[in-house]
Amino acid sequence: MSGMDRYDRQTRIEGWDQNLLFSSTVFIAGVGAIGGEVAKNLTMMGIGKLVLADYDFVELSNLSRQLLFRDSDLGKSKAAVAAERLREINPHVEVEAFGKDIRVLTEDVFRSVDVIFSCLDNWASRRWLNSVAVSLNKPLIDGSMNGFYGNVQAVLPRRTACLECQSINLIPREEKEAECTLKRRNPEHLVNDLKELGIEVDVGQAEKLFQLNIKTVYDIKYARLETITSVADEGVLRLLERLRSILTSRLPAIQSVAAVVAGIMTTVGVKLLHGGKLGAVPTGLIVYDGLSSRLSRVRISRDPLCIVCGEDDATPVEFSFKLGESVLKLKEALASAFGFPDPEVLFGGKRLSDEEILAEVGVKSGDVIYVSTTRLFEPLPIKIISPSH
């Protein structure tokens, strides 16, 4: 029997090109409920190479909706276990796994792939990956779920709306509040925030959290434990885990909906790889409602002024701001306007410090500064326009 016999039934589809799949590479960010299903689907279909990234570890609650994991895998790296299981499913597929945050991967990793699948559970990482895809001109397929509901969106860079185009409507309220708040806070702020939620911590405990750059309730809920375990003492880690257990209410999820969302994403990805031979790629937002058994398409318009995929990406974004104000005040304004919780300002080849005054460091109306943030792959050029001009 030839190697093609494994794929006999799918190669009977008119327009199907198995050799094209053999020569394709895809990147999957997150190998949980949705990402694991996408990876399994593509592996069975005979994709040439899978590149997986997930910094998380297998836990018991994963096993009800994540096919690639077993009881014996508890505590192990999701990326490593998934890669091993996928190789068992189809030994002819090459699998590369990264058990780390996608934002620390080199640019070459993303340049080497044909399609990017976003199967992430937080908006910050999705925004960053979206900006990577647009910057490198790589198609992105984003999928998410909440209980019986799921969404899928295909982003064709500079042809369709990207995730940032509709971010004001799509970011969950809690994340939006965190994204738009510059983290220039003190431990007393965190103590008061927790007190309002009925949780008592003292200023000393809050100070220790601040030393780990955990300054908001949102940080407590979503800080990556693997990045701070080596620098935090055991008492702080226990405090963080206790607070997280009280605060975190995980989104409901079931395997059947994950399978539907992943199935749609996989099909869209295969169509993308075939370049039109299997029909047009759906644009807009595909919404699945499992309760009413309804699949809908929602039109999404591309924003010509989008900071990621705008029509004229060579033209800096104009931003009105007084030159007599400090860099800190500018950062606060940028955080509010663009949802950057951690903007850094670069001008004249150096990073400006918070206490510096724009006019005193030589910034004039019409000058271009650059803003770096963990929400974007590349610094954003901003043209400062003084209100007095």
Q: Please list the active-site residues.
A: 180
- Nearest residue to 206 (alpha-carbon basis) of 227, 191, 219: 191
d(CA 52, CA 102): 10
- Nearest residue to 259 (alpha-carbon basis) of 61, 67, 58, 48: 67
DSSP string across 46-109? T-SEEEEE---B--GGGGGT-TT--GGGTTSBHHHHHHHHHHHH-TTSEEEEE-S-GGGS-HHH
Contact 172, 122 (CB under 8 A): no
What angle, rounded to 10 degrees, do the helices at 78-89 and 33-45 form? 30
| Backbone φ, ψ for residue 6 (5° rounding) | -55, -30
- Nearest residue to 49 (alpha-carbon basis) of 273, 260, 258: 273
Contact 358, 384 (CB under 8 A): yes
Environment class of 148 (CB within 10 Å of its CB; exposed 0-12, middle 13-18, buried 19+): middle
Tell me how many degrees the CA angle 174-178-184 measures, rounded to the nearest 5. Answer: 155
